[in-house]
């Protein structure tokens, strides 16, 4: 309505400006008033000797003598038969006509008539154009653009048409809802799909106060001791009740700078598209979502397995609406728990044959004992799901047999090198974890690190979507326990960006956090870290210690950071003997791991024996703690661990290695690895 109103107020000024310009062109209209402008053009064509008014901006009709005898109808041009019904009267400003006062009255009457006829005609034509626009007025009364939602991507209309052309083949009334397109782009849809029904979907922008750290806070009160965590809410798409669409087209912003995927507006638009897709699904109706963006959409909200076409920066999805509906029921971020800590009942999935626990071993064998014990803890907790372990060629046949005996289904993989890691660094091959997404014979995988224990059954996590995990720090998740959905195209997505994405910690966890920025928080009890933070009060430390040893257990998963239990003597946690590792020291948690170990068959326990070099290393650390006179006094304890006197290697005199320990330690890499089960070094995760 803004355009007709503007004409209404400007019309009198236009008319008087014409009158003062040396001549007047007045169309006496019989029919469509919009032809008035055509009549002026025709007059200009027929009379090339036109003069310009004082303002120099309007072509006027030629000045003629004002004698009444010179007034005549303009000769009709045979080449413009379409305007034969329009008469153009030429009046002269300096004319001596006796009807000068009547001229102004006539102009006012014609102006009012012209505006009355023009306003409904033009507005009606806007609504009845070939693309059948709706909600057109929203474009014009839109307030200034929110820079968070502005996309700088150029719409490649040929790519857009290629992406959706097959959808309109059998549907002459394709209904398209547009989200976040500007008015110019809106008009372009009529040219590429003239038979479509196009609607602008109104969406209020999120409040400026909603930031990514508010959606993904570092800490929430999971136990609801002092407050109930809550998430901010996004405005919902504004559509007429009962409205539905065949295609929801969305233009997504993408800054292409570090952290571009942690974008509130981008998340809001994709969640809105998902909601519109769900509400449009009725019966067997197919709903598609088209994104125009230079960056890939959220891979676990719109997974690549649902990608129908990708042309340029146009991404067409046919989402699994059942899965999308379930995801939309979850909190918008990690600001709330996706699974309550104290739920009275847990949801469980249906197809258990397509679900498995999985872990990975590569580059060294020191985690074989940990993986064996982790598998046994899963079985002791009551789960019967498949256990799958990925290993590379550095894991010997002897160790593979032990893993199989523990219940793991062993699969051989080729390692994936981290291109940003240094040679022989701890993280050189940790991108091998991406191979988990190639386990496509399973729909869901619960990945677990090999250095943890399952204390209570967590099979209910299979009902959760990708990525479900506990919080780590800042806005990040901990990848030690996470739910993933295997897909070869997701694996390809991970591989395509390894050279451009920088991991915050140089490892796979940092990389995955850059790909999957939209994740779902589960209670830390489901991946409880054996770690005493520097800021922990004595009360907090006592509470953690109580959780480590509670019987029956309160924790679901206990994750062993620092030096691993099987790499220490069973008498006490050897993290105590290393000043830099004391934050990971807990005798209670250490004892808990050994209780699980002791329940294993002796054959499996043999894979946890200590090598001669490891015994020497433990004694060296004990002596260093004694020299420093560390106040905890663990270095004073006598070692009763039977593994100290058990030797399976040719050389067993570990005491002699201490004579030149510093020298021997530097030569570790030159000593060939034994063929028998052993661990290479003491390391932390």
| Cα(381)–Cα(341) distance, integer angstroms | 18
Q: Are 216 and 185 in contact (CB under 8 A)?
A: no
Return the biggest CA–CA distance within the chain: 133
Residue 587 pLDDT greater than 70, yes or no: yes
pLDDT single digits (tens) 25-53: 333 333 444 444 444 444 444 444 444 34
Q: What is the pLDDT of residue 324?
A: 97
| Cα(508)–Cα(505) distance, integer angstroms | 8
Among residues 166, 72, 219, the alpha carbon closest in space to that of 535 is found at 219
Nearest-10 crossing angle of helices 397-406, 368-380: 10
pLDDT single digits (tens) 638-662: 999 999 999 999 999 999 999 988 7
Q: Is 359 exposed, middle or buried (0-12, 13-18, 19+ CB in 10 A)?
A: buried
Q: What are the start and end residues of each CATH 3.40.50 domain in the chain?
A: 137-328
**Would you give the distance in Å from CA 29 to the centre of its chain?**
59
Beta strand extents in 293-395 (DSSP E only): 307-311, 314-317, 355-361, 386-391
Q: Are 497 and 420 in contact (CB under 8 A)?
A: no
Q: Is 46 exposed, middle or buried (0-12, 13-18, 19+ CB in 10 A)?
A: middle
Residue 70 pLDDT greater than 80, yes or no: no
Average pLDDT over residues 348-374: 89
100 CB neighbour count, 10 Å cutoff: 11
Q: What are the start and end residues of each CATH 3.90.550.10 domain in the chain?
A: 352-670
pLDDT single digits (tens) 248-297: 999 999 988 888 999 999 999 999 999 999 999 877 788 999 999 999 99
pLDDT single digits (tens) 288-344: 999 999 999 999 999 999 999 999 999 999 999 999 999 999 999 999 999 998 876
Model pTM score = 0.77
Residue 381 pLDDT greater than 60, yes or no: yes
Q: Tell me whether the omega of the peptide bond preceding residue 538 falls within 30 degrees of 0, making it cis.
A: no
- The secondary structure of residue 524, as a DSSP letter, is G
Among residues 417, 411, 450, the alpha carbon closest in space to that of 432 is found at 417
pLDDT single digits (tens) 610-632: 999 999 999 999 999 999 999 99
Q: Are 15 and 111 in contact (CB under 8 A)?
A: yes
Q: What does the block give as tokens for 142? A: 């839109």
- The secondary structure of residue 93, as a DSSP letter, is T
The mean-pLDDT minimum among 2-6, 58-62, 372-376, 449-453 falls in 58-62
| Cα(438)–Cα(287) distance, integer angstroms | 28
Q: Are 83 and 38 in contact (CB under 8 A)?
A: yes
Q: Is 1 exposed, middle or buried (0-12, 13-18, 19+ CB in 10 A)?
A: exposed
Q: Is 564 exposed, middle or buried (0-12, 13-18, 19+ CB in 10 A)?
A: buried
Among residues 71, 62, 74, 68, the alpha carbon closest in space to that of 24 is found at 62
Beta strand extents in 449-580 (DSSP E only): 452-454, 468-471, 477-484, 520-521, 528-529, 557-559
Fold of 352-670: Spore Coat Polysaccharide Biosynthesis Protein SpsA; Chain A (3.90.550)
Q: Which residues contact 600 (CB under 8 A, 6 or more apart)?
A: 372, 373, 376, 406
| Cα(616)–Cα(655) distance, integer angstroms | 6
Q: Which residues contact 104 (CB under 8 A, 6 or more apart)?
A: none
**pLDDT confidence band for 349 (50 / 70 / 90):** low
Q: Tell me whether the omega of the peptide bond preceding residue 552 falls within 30 degrees of 0, making it cis.
A: yes
Place of tokens 């570090």: 258
Q: Which among 66-75, 233-242, 377-386 has the top mean pLDDT?
A: 377-386
**Would you give the distance in Å from CA 164 to the centre of its chain?**
23
Whether domain 137-328 has CATH 1.10.3470: the reply is: no
């Amino acid at each position: 309505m803004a355009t007709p109103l503007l004409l209404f107020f400007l019309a009198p000024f236009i008319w008087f400006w014409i009158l003062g310009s040396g001549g007047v062109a007045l169309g006496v209209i019989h029919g469509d008033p919009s032809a008035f402008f055509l009549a002026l053009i025709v007059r200009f064509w027929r009379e090339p000797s036109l003069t310009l008014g004082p303002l120099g901006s309007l072509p006027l009709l030629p000045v003629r003598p004002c004698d009444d005898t010179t007034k005549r109808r303009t000769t009709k041009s045979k080449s413009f038969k379409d305007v034969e019904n329009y008469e153009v009267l030429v009046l002269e400003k300096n004319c001596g006509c006796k009807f000068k006062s009547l001229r102004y009255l006539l102009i006012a009457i014609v102006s009012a008539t012209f505006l009355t006829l023009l306003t409904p005609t033009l507005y009606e034509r806007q609504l009845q154009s070939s693309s059948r626009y709706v909600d057109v007025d929203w474009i014009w009364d839109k307030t200034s653009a929110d820079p968070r939602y502005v996309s700088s991507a150029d719409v490649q209309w040929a790519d857009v048409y290629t992406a959706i052309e097959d959808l309109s083949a059998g549907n002459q009334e394709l209904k398209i809802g547009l989200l976040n397109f500007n008015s110019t782009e809106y008009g372009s849809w009529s040219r590429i799909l003239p038979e479509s029904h196009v609607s602008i979907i109104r969406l209020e922008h999120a409040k400026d106060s909603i930031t990514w750290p508010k959606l993904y806070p570092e800490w929430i009160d999971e136990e609801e001791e002092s407050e109930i965590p809550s998430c901010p809410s996004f405005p919902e798409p504004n559509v007429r009740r009962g409205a539905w669409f065949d295609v929801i087209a969305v233009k997504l912003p993408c800054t292409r700078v570090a952290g571009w995927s942690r974008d509130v507006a981008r998340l809001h638009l994709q969640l809105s598209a998902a909601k519109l897709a769900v509400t449009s699904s009725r019966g067997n109706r197919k709903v598609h979502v088209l994104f125009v963006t230079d960056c890939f959409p959220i891979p676990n909200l719109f997974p690549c397995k649902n990608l129908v076409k990708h042309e340029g920066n146009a991404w067409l999805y046919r989402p699994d609406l059942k899965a999308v509906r379930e995801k939309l029921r979850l909190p918008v971020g990690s600001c709330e728990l996706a699974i309550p800590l104290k739920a009275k009942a847990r949801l469980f999935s249906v197809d258990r044959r397509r679900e498995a626990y999985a872990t990975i071993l590569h580059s060294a064998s020191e985690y074989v004992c940990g993986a064996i014990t982790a598998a046994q803890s899963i079985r002791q907790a009551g789960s019967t799901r498949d256990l799958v372990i990925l290993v590379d060629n550095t894991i010997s046949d002897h160790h593979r047999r032990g893993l199989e005996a523990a219940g793991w289904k062993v699969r051989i993989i080729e390692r994936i090198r981290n291109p940003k890691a240094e040679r022989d660094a701890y993280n050189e091959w940790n991108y091998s974890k991406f191979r988990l997404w190639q386990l496509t014979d399973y729909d869901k995988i619960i990945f677990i690190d090999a250095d943890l224990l399952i204390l209570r059954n967590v099979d209910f996590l299979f009902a959760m979507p990708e990525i479900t995990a506990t919080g780590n720090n800042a806005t990040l998740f901990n990848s030690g326990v996470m739910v993933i959905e295997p897909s070869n195209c997701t694996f390809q997505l991970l591989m395509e960006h390894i050279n451009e994405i920088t991991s915050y910690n140089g490892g796979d966890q940092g990389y995955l956090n850059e790909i999957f920025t939209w994740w779902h928080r589960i209670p830390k009890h489901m991946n409880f870290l054996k770690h005493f933070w520097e800021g922990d009060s004595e009360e907090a430390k006592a509470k953690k210690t109580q959780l480590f040893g509670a019987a029956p257990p309160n924790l679901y998963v206990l994750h062993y950071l620092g030096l691993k239990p099987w790499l220490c003597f069973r008498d006490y946690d050897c993290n105590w003997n290393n000043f830099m590792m004391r934050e990971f020291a807990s005798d209670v948690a250490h004892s808990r791991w050994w209780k699980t170990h002791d329940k294993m068959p002796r054959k499996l326990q043999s894979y946890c024996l200590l090598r001669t070099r490891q015994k020497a290393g433990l004694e060296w650390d004990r002596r260093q703690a004694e020299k420093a006179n560390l106040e905890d006094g663990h270095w004073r304890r006598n070692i009763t661990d039977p593994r100290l006197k058990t030797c399976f290697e040719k050389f067993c005199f570990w005491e002699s290695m201490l004579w030149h320990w510093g020298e021997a330690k530097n030569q570790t890499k030159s000593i060939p690895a034994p063929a028998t089960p052993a661990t290479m070094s003491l390391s932390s995760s």
